[in-house]
Structure 1
Amino acid sequence: MLISGPPLSSPPVDTLGRAVLRLAEMDQPWLTVHRDPERHAWTGPALLDLARRWRDAARARGLRQGDRAVVLMPNDERFVAAFFGLQLAGCAPVPLAWPSTLANKQQALAPLRPIVEVADPRVILTTPEVTTDWPWPFVTEPAAAATGDDVLAGPDDPAFLQFTSGSMGRPRGAVIPQRAAVGCTWSMGSGMGLSPQDVGLSWLPLYHDMGLVGALLCPLLFGFPLHLMRPGEFLLHPRRWLDHAAEFRVTVAAAPDFGWRLVARRVRDYDRDLSSWRVGLDGAEPVHRSTLDAVHQRLGPAGLPAGTPRPAYGLAEGTLGVCIYDPDRPAPDLEWNGRQVPSVGGPLPGVSVRTVTATGMECAEGEEGEILVRGPGLMRGYFRDEGQTAAALRDGWLHTGDLGVIAGGQLYVTGRIKDLVIHNGVKLHPYDIERVAAEAADATLNGAAAFTTREGEDEALVVVVEVPRRRSEGVERRVLGALVRQLGIRPNRVLAVPPGQIPRTTSGKVRRPAAAARFGGGHGP
């Protein structure tokens, strides 16, 4: 089954460097960084000057045109300026996850070193407290003044490297060309109808594709202001996200499904006006109908538009956006394995989506298959990994590894190929098992993990659920009974563990192979 979005108009620039130079024309505050109760506003020219100072500081440590440079910064003007400064040096940034704590610096940085070794950067741009004994030059302060010249990359040169979150084994970095970074951002903004009259707000990590492309590059290309929070502030005080949206009449803001769930769970009786919030995206992980309904129940009385939040689908290998649900084209949920799967909409402008069977045949409407994507945002390939690149990019199509159904001209994402569990000859999505287990245990929606592990010559199905010790009595029996009744399966083991024990990625997704290694004595599917 094949569906395509409308034609994509030509963007005003062909590289991110040229987009950064347009900051010189934005005399009003373009970036406002919130560290409640303080806030600091940066006009376009001021931020452009700071970017050039980071560029010159990196050059003083050996950076040259065409190099790669790690950006390891907090969610504030330092990350933005360092990333932009590398664009003005004709170099490719490699954004890395900012540690949640530096109390034990070596432990916090250890997971990042394998990525740095694969990325092979010339320098690392970071803050003074992060410097360590790694064998790469550190750049921890911008130059006192900007004195060098701008050198811009070409449209086919790398714009940045996105390392996929939660990967096991050798880290894989998607090389995003300048043309793809601009093309995907322009496609997303065109699909959402963005303009200079919009106002953006984000707490999303800037090292993550949803924060980098969706929250930062969209305002850059479409010329509207951005209010930036730190992720930790949102997680501790989700109401502040709503307060900023109400105060600044925000029109565009996004969150993964767990973020919207957190708002629905923690915010009560919200009475400030949210009617300006016309585009709120829900993506980066499976979108739950229960989340969308809970958000509308909590925030509808505050004027939140009916089309907010709207489900979206994308991936790092496509720069970011593939499909975004359009509330003006309503579609019913898909009934799939006992759950309601919301539509993620049709393809964005310039994007085509196919579903194919395991043998490569085109799926019929309503038939599940692998999701293939073609469009302006496709990566060049995985950095220095020809084998994985050849497997992912074939005949101009990106093989996503995701499973989905196309119906009524819209896409429904149902799971991941590599996560399929085969138990007693039946193929199952671990997500379906986890959903039933979490509901039976009264756990959060990402509070369960399902995987198989080898026990002797057999494959055993293991289900792990997170519950506080005071509520753990009888959990295994309830979960087992629910799985038998609703899915007709009987796992070999059900384990109840304290909250926080299931491994997750930085965006909250369950890391099933890591969970299998921790709880199953083996490896998951």
Structure 2
Amino acid sequence: MNVMNSASSTLNEETLQPVPTNSGQQRRYGDFPTFPAALDYAAQGNAGFNIYSGKGVLLEALPYKKLREQAIETGLRLLGMGLQPGDRVAIVAESDGDFARIFFGCQYAGLVSAPLPLPVAFAGKEAYLATLRGMITSAGASAVIIPQIIEGWTNDIVSGLGLVFAGSPAELMARPVPEIALPEIKPEALSYLQFSSGSTRFPMGVCVSQKSGMANVAAIAHDGLQVRETDDRCVSWLPLYHDMGLVGFFLTPMTCQLTVDMLPTREFARRPHVWLDLISRNRGTLAYSPSFGYELCARRPAAEGLDLSSWRVAGIGGDMIRPHILEIFAERFASAGFDKRAFEASYGMAEATLAISFAPLNTGIQTDTVDLSVLESQGLAVAPKSANAPSRTFVLCGKVLPHHGLEVRDAEGNVLPDRTVGTIFVRGPSLMDGYFRQPEETIKAIDTQKWLNTGDLGYMLNGQIVVTGRAKDLIIINGRNIWPQDLEWSAENELPTLRSRDVAVFSLEKGEQEEIVALIQCRATTPETREELRSEAASLFRRLHGVEVSVVLVPPHALPQTSSGKLTRAKARTMFLSGVFEPQPEVEPA
């Protein structure tokens, strides 16, 4: 029997009611062996997914009970095509019910889901197609599901890849449901491949097993978010092709029987206030965003009648946390009932499924202001020597999750004391099995004692981790360790015409020395105004950071971003060296 009801079905909006907040069943915090087992339990209650348009109109109410039925049918359809357990199914991840049906269909069928990005963050069709084809090839996918929004690009995406199936969700759902048995899903089985947001030139899929995925969502629900027995509800615009959206606000809620109100990622930047409106009218309690999401919301005043008093965990993740943006947001929406103590800092990455640490709940953002000169020259995070000394404020990202470990080490592998910057290592049951079909890269990342080198730098402070940046982005000038985000944030904060993510800073080899380059998105068109911005920026870097910087102005929207909206300095540097941005200083490639 076909019980499929697509989100595109004709529905009377007046009669369509959202899935309720409370499941009506005893809360379980992800204590299941597999994701199918978790959905089997969630299907016994009333919770589920509500799919909204970018304008906040309810398009589909999908209780977990109905999702389970539809997912099983979808999994059988995939197996009926000749796919075998362990085969990979790439899903271009729109935030809708079709993605949920296909993702969980793969879970029931023993197939390995590989969520792929939408083109929202890519600079043009060709760059997007190249990235997508690279991910499909890296995953060794046998089938690719392409949503209606880019259905016209299907041939460009899949041509020559030799797939068993390539088509839209509607085409998949039109297939017959065969009368065959589903396989037994074991905890050690591979659940999905997560392509990290930086996976562009050489995509590497992170292997997340049923067991490691369940370990992380259980820790997030029980120890991180401390999900309550009743009345918690999630509201999310986060992309389902990124670990924060997929694990944090798709898998975790299902495994602890929470309802989620989902908005399309591709429309968030145009209508960020819809996110807040949904939290208000549905009494959402749990919602996350990178810093830039809060910044977009704070650009306009609180709407009349907006009530954010139910929002108890306003999480920040996915990028370096910018405290001043959160301060502006808290001030802007205090009149709407927002409590700044709801801000929740956390740290994580796809290689650990998602979460590694959470700050204590209900304490707001805790910061540590350090002497920038000492940090750069000695790698020590100490208080500024004077009120006028250059300083940098970092956010404390909490203690490592139970049953996991975290250490900060020096180059020789020694564990460092508090306030000494080193490389962050983690281990625990949430760690990936490795990079898919990349044994050499896996060995580089995970040592024989199962410690993962995160590639991040940071320091410990009273049991909490403070992240200072990515090791690969660090700029070394005359013995100083300079973090590019320090320069980027200074420009974006001090120069009134600049916005968040308008500046990309990196270094280049020039002779025997390194040269710092800042690419700045400029909206001005007159030569005088452009030259004024260039001069002001160079002077600012010299005055606040004591470094000479070659400032290059680029058009708006020219700086590359990852699929999750983060600035990618490595790609910006490559584009600069290839002559995409003109004019440019004479430099030698590193």
TM-score scaled to structure 2, two decimals?
0.82
Unaligned runs of 5+ in 1: 1-8
Superposition RMSD in Å: 2.4
Q: Is the alpha carbon distance of 1:33 and 1:524 closer, same or farther for their aligned partners in structure 2, counting shifts above 3 Å?
A: farther
In structure 2, what is the Cα distance between the partners aligned to 1:154 and 1:523? 52
Structure 1 residue 10: Cα displacement: 8.5
Q: Which residue in the other structure is 1:189 paired with?
A: 221
Q: Is 1:399 matched up with 2:453?
A: yes
One-letter amino acid of the structure 1 residue matched with residue 443 of structure 2: A
CA contact (8 A) 1:196 1:224 kept: no
Q: Which residue in the other structure is 1:4 paired with?
A: none
- Which of 15, 24, 42 pairs up with 2:62? 42
- Which of 364, 373, 376 pairs up with 2:417? 364
Structure 1 residue 380: Cα displacement: 0.6
Q: Is 1:518 matched up with 2:552?
A: no
The aligned runs of 1:72-151 (5 Å cut-off) are 72-100=92-120, 108-127=128-147, 129=151, 130-132=153-155, 133=159, 134-136=161-163, 137-140=165-168, 141-142=172-173, 143=175, 145=177, 147-151=179-183
Structure 1 residue 229: Cα displacement: 0.8
In structure 1, what is the Cα distance between the partners aligned to 2:67 and 2:86? 23
In structure 2, what is the Cα distance between the partners aligned to 1:43 and 1:524? 54
In structure 2, what is the Cα distance between the partners aligned to 1:251 and 1:356? 37
Deviations 1:93-148 (A, max 9, x none): 11100233999876643320011111101212333625322421225322455744
Worse overlay, 186-195 or 15-24: 15-24
Q: Is the alpha carbon distance of 1:84 and 1:261 closer, same or farther for their aligned partners in structure 2, counting shifts above 3 Å?
A: same
In structure 2, what is the Cα distance between the partners aligned to 1:480 and 1:469? 17
Q: Which residue in the other structure is 2:51 paired with?
A: 33
SS in 2 for 1:418: helix
Q: Which residue in the other structure is 1:489 paired with?
A: 547
Residue identity over aligned pairs, in percent, reads: 30
Unaligned runs of 5+ in 2: 1-27, 373-390, 579-586
Worse overlay, 187-196 or 294-303: 187-196
Q: Which residue in the other structure is 2:31 paired with?
A: 12
Structure 1 residue 88: Cα displacement: 0.2
Q: Which residue in the other structure is 1:467 paired with?
A: 522
Q: Which residue in the other structure is 1:389 paired with?
A: 442
Q: Is the alpha carbon distance of 1:101 and 1:185 closer, same or farther for their aligned partners in structure 2, counting shifts above 3 Å?
A: closer
Structure 1 residue 397: Cα displacement: 1.1
Q: Is the alpha carbon distance of 1:374 and 1:44 closer, same or farther for their aligned partners in structure 2, counting shifts above 3 Å?
A: same
Q: Which residue in the other structure is 1:424 paired with?
A: 478
The aligned runs of 1:196-207 (5 Å cut-off) are 197=230, 198-207=232-241
TM-score scaled to structure 1, two decimals?
0.92
SS in 2 for 1:450: strand
In structure 2, what is the Cα distance between the partners aligned to 1:276 and 1:224? 15
One-letter amino acid of the structure 2 residue matched with residue 410 of structure 1: Q
- Which of 212, 217, 229 pairs up with 2:263? 229
The aligned runs of 1:262-411 (5 Å cut-off) are 262-269=296-303, 271-328=305-362, 332-336=366-370, 337=372, 338-394=391-447, 395-411=449-465
Q: Which residue in the other structure is 1:3 paired with?
A: none
Worse overlay, 61-70 or 135-144: 135-144
SS in 1 for 2:472: coil
One-letter amino acid of the structure 2 residue matched with residue 127 of structure 1: P
Larger Rg: 2
CA contact (8 A) 1:440 1:478 kept: no
Q: Which residue in the other structure is 1:52 paired with?
A: 72
In structure 2, what is the Cα distance between the partners aligned to 1:73 and 1:171? 17
Q: Is the alpha carbon distance of 1:523 and 1:216 closer, same or farther for their aligned partners in structure 2, counting shifts above 3 Å?
A: farther
- Which of 484, 497, 502 pairs up with 2:559? 502
In structure 2, what is the Cα distance between the partners aligned to 1:411 and 1:103? 34
Worse overlay, 267-276 or 378-387: 267-276
CA contact (8 A) 1:31 1:42 kept: yes
In structure 2, what is the Cα distance between the partners aligned to 1:478 and 1:152? 64
